[in-house]
Structure 1
Amino acid sequence: MNGDEARPGPLCLVTGATGYIGGRLVPELLDAGFRVRCLVRSPSRLRDHPWAREVEVAAADVCDADSVDRAMEGVDIAYYLVHSLGTGRDFEKTDREAARVFGGRARAAGVRRIVYLGGLTPQGVPERELSPHLRSRTEVGRILLGSGVPTTVLRAAVIIGSGSASFEMLRYLTERLPVMVTPSWVHTRIQPIAVRDVLRVLVGSATMPEEVNRAFDIGGPDVLTYRDMMIRYAAVADLPPRVILSVPVLTPGLSSLWVGLVTPVPRSIARPLTESLRHEVVCHEHGIEEYVPSPAGHPVPFDEAVRLALRRVREARVTTRWSSASLPGAPSDPLPTDPGWAGGSLYSDRRQILVDAPREALWRVIEGIGGDNGWYSLPLAWAARGWLDRLAGGVGLRRGRRDAQRLRVGDSLDFWRVEEIEPGHLLRLRAEMRLPGLAWLEMYAEGNGDGASRYRQRALFHPHGLLGHAYWWSVSPFHAAVFGGMARNIARAAARYESARQEEHRTAR
């Protein structure tokens, strides 16, 4: 174990810290003054989190009583945020055994409270008729409530936030299919909840009175069908209205295959989620308000929750996950540890090449790109793209650049805008041409020793709707010539610049 031992406050044990909710809960607990210990099987998976050095880490498996015993030492509140969804057919058995171990070891360690995030279940439906996913979540909650440790079970339906499997399924279905033939479960009523509200209630549950040992329904202010959510997502994302036709013939298995064809969400996760969508999941009580009252503006309405989940894209910024930066973000934002299919589609073209010149010479060429210096590949193609952009009402290539040698953040550069610059290392440009999506171009200069350097180049495109995907695939055959040629010619220009500089130096001597 390691971490900041001097941090005051009760000690919280967070299981599932590498998961969607756990990874976002930890910084919220730290901000609230708690100490945090993360129980993970692979501690190395925490290293990309910006808060990794502020927590203790316990390497343990929730099914291994001995390792859980060690992780429970001195713990005041234990958050149970793990489940075996997507790991195989025996996930119900695995979840049952893990819950029994966790509850028993928490009681033996004198833990004051267990907080568990489960699933919202339909009222009046026998447990045996629930989907395996919801049935398992219900059983785990019951085991923890009977553990002898005061337990808060929070039952939520669809969580709205970038990285949530349910939200990502909604995102991809809506963005990729302007016309949909859907299963009948699109008419099932659901009460979604913003991830911000889930985290707020999770943190607030840590201070519940000792006598509280019960389950609470939690949800947002809107009760919607899945069809309603797709239509409203499209409106918030500025997509054309979606045409949604439902048919009764798609079984849960066929539904998951359909979802798998349209979205990158793994079938092992999509199937239990789609099976659960046949049940109406609406809050039937609001007892949580007595213990964790909602502040002004909460719970967050559905449209605002979607807007927050799309916030990084709306601000036209490369997201944390996309840029591989370890920057703290809002709870609705992607994290570096989210699965590759989370955060929406992002296409990329990557190039790198060794340069026979030092990094300083390479950076000189990178910073001088555009304007009269051009873009180092197929000038006619770049000119044609500029003409097409002007015909579509865009800025084209007419803006040039402010200074022939130097760039600064905010400068216009032909039909790009300088979004970020790290002198001597990184130039990131955001496209301002007319596109069915958002695009960036990144250029890196890196030292490679012995007077050489390495040039790295990355073109990124976040498509907007089906037209955005079609655009990327229509132009990708030309990337080898455009972007590949650009990388090669920048490397050659840097070598020529360095050769001329050395010749000038010799002549001066």
Structure 2
Amino acid sequence: MVDEAGSPAPRALVTGATGYIGGRLIPELLAAGYAVRALARSPEKLRDHPWAARTEVLRGDLTDADSVRPAMAGVDVAYYLVHALGSGRGFEETDRRAARIFAREARAAGVRRIVYLGGLTPRGIPERDLSPHLRSRAEVGRILLDSGVPTAVLRAAVIIGSGSASFEMLRYLTERLPVMVTPSWVRTRIQPVAVRDVLRYLVGCARLPDDVSRTFDIGGPDVLTYRDMMQRYARVAGLPERLILPVPMLSPGLSSLWIGLVTPVPPGIARPLAESLRHEVVCHEHDIARHVPDPDPPGHPLAFDDALALALRRVRDADVTTRWTNAAAPGAPSDPMPTDPDWAGGSLYTDCREQTVDAPPEAVWRVVEGIGGENGWYSFPLAWAVRGWLDRLVGGVGLRRGRRDAGRLRVGDSLDFWRVEEVVPGRLLRLRAEMRLPGLAWLEMTVGRDDRGRTRYGQRALFHPHGLAGHAYWWAISPFHAAVFGGMARNIAAAAERPTARDVPERVPAAGAPDRP
């Protein structure tokens, strides 16, 4: 890779490429003109990213010097974006060993700069009194600064963006608990920062002068308590104000168990994060704005509410083209990514059905594309009718809209109380619910062949709950799914197997004729 002048582009090594920050940093570095090498223990997780073909991907582990050494060859700037949080009680020793190997190999390879994203630590508290999570982050930063390679250590508190473990804890606690008894750390002051600003600073640090080797505190413009953050999350997400009752006797250990009951964040991650929340983490300087080549643009760092709005954008816009539909990459750093853990991105309930059909795929697709309106929904007609009446009763659209074209569906068409969100002729129909619901719902139908060449019909209902009412709604209707969705899949398959469905030729518009009846 060469730059516009024909010179070789500077090379950046990104460790932790399958992690929250690493996977979002790589496209930012590519856009900034860097040749990127990614080091990952599981490189296969990166192959479906749109930037994978432009990135050199190596398999390696930072605790293995023999795999780190070749990764450092020819590198100008090396990003240390890994930590062993969640790997068990020995994570501090694992972090220490990995940082020492990284520092030693970077110096030996002549790397010009190291950039590390660590945790914001409180001033005036001895390092030994910090939580194990923050203590380990501080120690890693110190090891890298002592490497002999110019190093920028960025220290951040809570990072706001879908997929961030701290943000996901905030999301689940706020959305699932309208009333909560909380530990005293809800009064702790925190200075959160948007993931967009974190990435901007990380990219900017690659071009720092060689004589700059130090820590930088990075944060947004708002200093809030955790209680403030939950209340403001509720407001931005459109939830009622939360009733939060702090209880001093809840220890960090007990509160991490409480978090484990309420959220899907793994205990190995939730406990260290909960223990860290007893410390006030507020920036004491903003020197980064003076040192990086590009100063803060207008509107940055992003305010907390703006960062929240971006993190929740996918949900608010009713768009499932993220990991929920197996897309390759997010549209923005704040969005979910396919490599994010399953518990990231908010709750998503699914009901999946598959049917092997004794008919060609074309016959199945005709049934799928003809669904709704006068043809109905192929299962439990009374249940669909009652749902439509109830929707109209609360001011919704009900089933009265029918469909515009009896034989063809297009993106944007209304279909009873659904809206066509995506159509791939012969393969995929995705509908978004427009009925009144405590959440967002989609119905996805696919047609294809299995590994034995047989026709396969797939059906997936997805529901993203909004607050506690959304969770209650899903569990209340779950007992009816076998009849409604199971019956729908069976009856669509049966309809496709009928001779009338198999023999009717597909309507093809005449040459020059508009694709409309």
TM-score, normalising length: structure 2: 0.95
Report runs of 4+ in structure 1 exceeding 6 Å deviation.
3-7
State the one-letter code of the partner of 1:121.
T
CA distance in 2, matches of 1:87, 1:328: 27
Note if 1:63 corresponds to 2:59: no
CA distance in 2, matches of 1:102, 1:379: 63
**1:115 counterpart residue number:** 115
State the one-letter code of the partner of 2:24.
R
Contact 1:120 1:282 in 2 (8 A): yes
Tell me the CA shift for residue 463 of structure 1.
0.2
**2:380 counterpart residue number:** 378
CA distance in 2, matches of 1:135, 1:68: 24
CA distance in 2, matches of 1:354, 1:209: 63
Tell me the CA shift for residue 24 of structure 1.
0.2
**1:36 counterpart residue number:** 36
User: In the superposition, relative to structure 1, how do residues 259 and 354 fare at CA in structure 2: closer, same or farther (>3 Å)?
Assistant: same
- 1:114-153 map, 5 Å: 114-153=114-153
CA distance in 2, matches of 1:449, 1:138: 51
Q: 2:395 aligns with which of 389, 393, 396?
A: 393
User: In the superposition, relative to structure 1, how do residues 4 and 325 fare at CA in structure 2: closer, same or farther (>3 Å)?
Assistant: farther
CA distance in 2, matches of 1:61, 1:225: 37
- 1:343-422 map, 5 Å: 343-422=345-424
SS at match of 1:409: coil
SS at match of 2:461: strand
SS at match of 1:377: coil
Deviates more, 1:468-477 or 1:439-448: 439-448
Where in structure 1 are there 5+ consecutive unaligned residues?
A: 504-509
- 1:197-236 map, 5 Å: 197-236=197-236
State the one-letter code of the partner of 1:87.
S
Tell me the CA shift for residue 45 of structure 1.
1.7
Deviations 1:262-293 (CA, angstroms, capped at 9, x unpaired): 00000100000000000000000111011232
Deviations 1:78-97 (CA, angstroms, capped at 9, x unpaired): 00001100101111111111
CA distance in 2, matches of 1:397, 1:162: 34
- 1:176-255 map, 5 Å: 176-255=176-255
CA distance in 2, matches of 1:134, 1:48: 33
CA distance in 1, matches of 2:502, 2:210: 77
Tell me the CA shift for residue 452 of structure 1.
4.3
Note if 1:462 corresponds to 2:464: yes
Contact 2:193 2:220 in 1 (8 A): yes
CA distance in 1, matches of 2:374, 2:382: 14
SS at match of 1:115: strand
CA distance in 2, matches of 1:10, 1:4: 8
Kindly, what percent of the aligned residue pairs are identical? 76
Tell me the CA shift for residue 500 of structure 1.
5.7
Q: How many residues align?
A: 501
State the one-letter code of the partner of 2:337.
L
Deviates more, 1:138-147 or 1:313-322: 313-322
Deviates more, 1:490-499 or 1:477-486: 490-499
CA distance in 2, matches of 1:140, 1:423: 53
SS at match of 1:380: helix
Tell me the CA shift for residue 448 of structure 1.
4.5
SS at match of 1:199: helix
SS at match of 1:227: helix
State the one-letter code of the partner of 1:155.
R
**1:304 counterpart residue number:** 306
Q: 2:343 aligns with which of 338, 341, 344?
A: 341
TM-score, normalising length: structure 1: 0.96
User: In the superposition, relative to structure 1, how do residues 426 and 388 fare at CA in structure 2: closer, same or farther (>3 Å)?
Assistant: same
SS at match of 2:57: strand
**1:478 counterpart residue number:** 480
CA distance in 1, matches of 2:178, 2:469: 10
CA distance in 2, matches of 1:57, 1:4: 18
Tell me the CA shift for residue 498 of structure 1.
5.4
Where in structure 2 are there 5+ consecutive unaligned residues?
A: 506-517
